[in-house]
Amino acid sequence: MTQRDRVLSRHLTSDGVVVWSRCSCGRLRMDLVPAAGGARLGAGPCPHRDGGQASSVSS
């Protein structure tokens, strides 16, 4: 997340913490911060984050 993000809520789950935030442009974003460590997973691409690229989640 960047300083432009406004955290709306955080939810503890069995997999980690789900963080819902809103960018200054108004886009909603969801990130999963894994409890076991590892890479953060996100959904909701925004041109202000990661060069506008969406994070991919694979199973």
Residue 59 lies in a domain: no
Nearest to 2 by CA among 47, 58, 55: 47
Count the domains in the chain.
Answer: 1
Report pLDDT for 39.
87
Residue 53 lies in a domain: no
Report pLDDT for 5.
79
Residue 52 lies in a domain: no
pLDDT 10s digits, 9-53: 999 999 999 999 988 888 898 999 999 888 888 887 777 655 544
Report pLDDT for 55.
46
Residue 40 lies in a domain: yes
Instruction: Give residues with Cβ within 8 angstroms of 56, minimum separation 6.
Output: none
Residue 46 exposed, middle or buried by CB count within 10 Å (0-12, 13-18, 19+): buried
- Domain interval for residue 30: 6-47
Report the run of H or E that residue 32 belongs to, with start and end: strand 28-34
Residue 57 lies in a domain: no
